[in-house]
């Protein structure tokens, strides 16, 4: 498993880390935003290096950008002893790590995740890759970075909606593994929290789950709570004016899947109400027309985590406990979406 370094002073810790490594050349990958906002925080701590900047955004997490990165690495003449640093959110980490781990059959890389989502989620577990022909993370590998350096210093420049998106994964970690953690997380004024403590706790939860099941044969599926219906919403509204960020879609997914949990895996009515209230308070209510529902349900069965034609869900038996491989019918998904639509906004 990757070694994770929690840093309170990223420039100093990165400098120290690099001084202990042996490498021939140093290359940095960043997107246009992290080049502007994050690179200045570490620039002075990195010895002689080259960098490559790509245009920010999930639309650029493609083989086309990989080709540009591989060309850049080739033109620099990077050998197998070169070290890469990926500075950015999940897009940069997934794609930069994929490029490094395939270049000359793999060179070492370190990840410095800069969005809350990438710090608490993408930083752990070794999944790397890019989107392909409209399918998310369709081409990729499992490879761990040499190290992950995490610092909440980067969050100061992260747009608030991106912070809120990452917070959905934090809330999910509490819901699936730790009831006390869930109840400690703020609902009002949630923007001002002790992010350092939250990141460390969330990373430890994800790490524990992944270490028991690195290749997602079983237990790791609990991290998918909220994601089967959530991904369907995310995909359906992707190219529309109602575009949802990942965490906003997962919040809808967690409410609807908590509803499924209430009659599939025994989540109590009180806990269902609590989960719904918390998520509505942080994310508000997403309004969408009834006509969209059947296509959203179809999209649920296209999630790559399903086996054959069963739609398998990870569902809560209580707050802090999650079960996986629970088959759910399209009619039951419809009832969960109806439940969501019946709720009133809390924000």
Ligand X SMILES: NC(=O)c1ccc[n+]([C@@H]2O[C@H](COP(=O)([O-])OP(=O)(O)OC[C@H]3O[C@@H](n4cnc5c(N)ncnc54)[C@H](O)[C@@H]3O)[C@@H](O)[C@H]2O)c1
Residues with catalytic annotation? 105, 127, 169, 206, 216, 220, 224, 227, 231, 246
154 binds ligand X (CB under 6 A): yes
Least CB distance to ligand X at residue 101 (A): 12
**Tokens coding 171:** 């809330």
153 in contact with ligand X (CB under 6 A): no
Residue range at the interface with ligand X (CB under 6 A); choices 21-29, 65-73, 88-96, 257-265: 88-96
Smallest distance from ligand X to CB 87, Å:
9
State the residue for tokens 């237990």. Answer: 219
CA distance 249 to 253: 6
At residue 82, the 3 state secondary structure works out as coil
Contact between residue 282 and residue 167 where contact means Cβ atoms under 8 Å apart: yes
Q: Which of 58, 64, 67, 42 is nearest to 93 (CA)?
A: 58
Number of residues in contact with ligand X under rule CB under 6 A: 30
Question: 118 or 276: whose CB is closer to ligand X?
Answer: 118
CB 84 within 8 A of CB 110: yes
Name residue, tokens 């590998």: 141
Q: Does 127 engage in binding with ligand X (CB under 6 A)? A: yes
To the nearest 5 percent, what fractions of the chain are helix, strand and coil? 55, 15, 30
Q: Which residue has the tokens 């069965």?
A: 301
Name the segment binding ligand X (CB under 6 A); options: 1-9, 154-162, 196-204, 277-285.
154-162
Q: How near is the Cβ of 106 to ligand X at its closest, in Å?
A: 17
| Minimum CB distance to ligand X smaller for 253 or for 336 | 253
CA-to-CA separations, 295 to 213, 298, 311, 332, in angstroms, rounded:
32, 5, 15, 15
CB of 220 to ligand X, least distance (A): 10
Site for ligand X in 26-55 (CB under 6 A): 31, 33-34, 37-38
Enumerate binding residues for ligand X (CB under 6 A). 31, 33-34, 37-38, 56, 58, 61, 88-92, 94, 114-115, 117-118, 121-122, 125, 127, 136-137, 154, 157-158, 162, 165, 246
């Amino acid at each position: 498993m990757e070694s994770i370094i929690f840093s309170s002073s990223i420039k100093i810790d990165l400098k120290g880390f690099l001084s202990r490594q042996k490498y021939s050349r140093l290359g940095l990958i960043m997107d246009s935003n992290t080049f502007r906002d994050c690179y200045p925080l570490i620039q002075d701590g990195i010895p002689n290096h080259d960098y490559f900047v790509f245009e920010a955004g999930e639309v650029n997490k493609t083989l086309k950008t990989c080709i540009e990165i591989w060309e850049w690495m080739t033109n620099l003449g990077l050998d197998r002893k070169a070290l890469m640093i990926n500075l950015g959110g999940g897009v940069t980490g997934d794609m930069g790590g994929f490029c490094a781990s395939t270049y000359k059959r793999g060179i070492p890389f370190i990840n410095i995740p800069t969005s809350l989502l990438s710090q608490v989620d993408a930083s752990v577990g070794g999944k790397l890759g890019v989107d392909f022909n409209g399918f998310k993370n369709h081409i990729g590998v499992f490879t761990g970075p040499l190290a992950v350096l995490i610092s909440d210093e980067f969050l100061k420049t992260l747009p608030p909606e991106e912070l809120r998106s990452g917070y959905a994964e934090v809330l999910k970690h509490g819901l699936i593994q730790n009831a006390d953690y869930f109840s400690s997380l703020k609902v009002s004024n949630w923007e001002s929290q002790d992010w350092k403590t939250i990141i460390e706790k969330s990373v430890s939860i994800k790490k524990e789950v992944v270490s028991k099941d690195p290749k997602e044969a079983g237990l790791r599926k609990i991290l998918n709570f909220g994601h089967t219906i959530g991904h369907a919403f995310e995909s359906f509204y992707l190219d529309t004016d109602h575009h949802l960020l990942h965490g906003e879609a997962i919040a809808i997914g967690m409410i609807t899947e908590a509803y499924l949990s209430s009659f599939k895996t025994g989540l109590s009515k009180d806990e269902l109400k609590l989960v719904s209230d918390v998520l509505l308070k942080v994310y508000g209510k997403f309004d969408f027309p009834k006509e969209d529902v059947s296509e959203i349900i179809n999209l649920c069965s296209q999630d790559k985590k399903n086996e054959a034609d069963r739609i398998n869900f990870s569902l809560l038996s209580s707050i802090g406990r999650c079960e996986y491989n629970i088959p759910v019918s399209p009619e039951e998904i419809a009832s969960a979406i109806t439940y969501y639509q019946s709720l009133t906004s809390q924000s």
